[in-house]
Amino acid sequence: MAILKILKYGDPVLRQKAKEVSKISKKIRILIENMLDTMYAANGVGLAAPQIGESLRIFVIDVSAENEPYKPLVFVNPKIIKKEGAICVKEGCLSFPEAYVNVRRYSDVMVKALDINGKPFIMEAKNGELLAYAIQHENDHLDGVLFVDHSRNIFEATEVLKANNLPQLEDDKLLNEEDLESIILENEAKNKEEGR
């Protein structure tokens, strides 16, 4: 198997909308295996096909802890079919080395996809667990959306990108997430009141 080159922020492929996979051929299966090898070699939690220059609707995730055996998850032609709740999380991305930024995400998602054998499945991730926001992060890559577009604090994001010699935020890509922001603010106020 092979370790592929990961495209960095600024590469136009990362902004393209990826195409559906029409058939899980041997070539696609090899691509998926190589994506997993590449993700593990880079110590990543997830990797989407556009990040290795293939504009296809495929991503892989592994949220197992360091001392646990690998638990690779493969998503082909995924669709998020339910999303609710909101959280603020600090995310990174293999296409943004060393840059970690606070972003807004749904806390609960349900995704439907095909596995590496073309078998459909549904997966649910809840309560703001890593899998919940990893699914959203990777699924975004398939639509040319990047985690920094969800930045909760654009001043912070600007500084982090600058400090890591990465291209700046693209103003026209920033997402308006007032609904998520108000839920996050409400939860923060609640936690403060409860002394958490």
Q: What's the CA gap between 10 and 7, in Å, rounded?
A: 8
Within the chain, residue ranges assigned H as helices are 26-41, 130-141, 154-163, 178-193
91 is catalytic: no
Question: One of 138, 156, 159, 188 is an active-site residue; which one?
Answer: 138
Nearer to Ni ion, 35 or 93 (CB): 93
Please pick, from the candidates 93, 113, 134, 157, the single residue that binds Ni ion as defined by CB under 5 A: 93
Is the CB of residue 103 less than 8 Å from the CB of residue 93?
A: no
- Amino acid code (one letter) for 156: E
The separation between the first and the last C-alpha atoms of the chain, rounded to the nearest angstrom, is 47
Residue with tokens 């990362």: 14
The yes or no reply on residue 49 touching Ni ion (CB under 5 A) is no
The yes or no reply on residue 135 touching Ni ion (CB under 5 A) is no
The yes or no reply on residue 14 touching Ni ion (CB under 5 A) is no
Stretch that binds Ni ion, among 80-88, 91-99, 166-174, 179-187 (CB under 5 A): 91-99
Cα-based angle 124, 126, 132 (whole degrees, multiple of 5): 75
Smallest distance, Ni ion to C-beta of residue 174, A: 17
The yes or no reply on residue 142 touching Ni ion (CB under 5 A) is no
Smallest distance, Ni ion to C-beta of residue 93, A: 3
Stretch that binds Ni ion, among 12-20, 56-64, 88-96, 101-109 (CB under 5 A): 88-96
Active site residues: 138
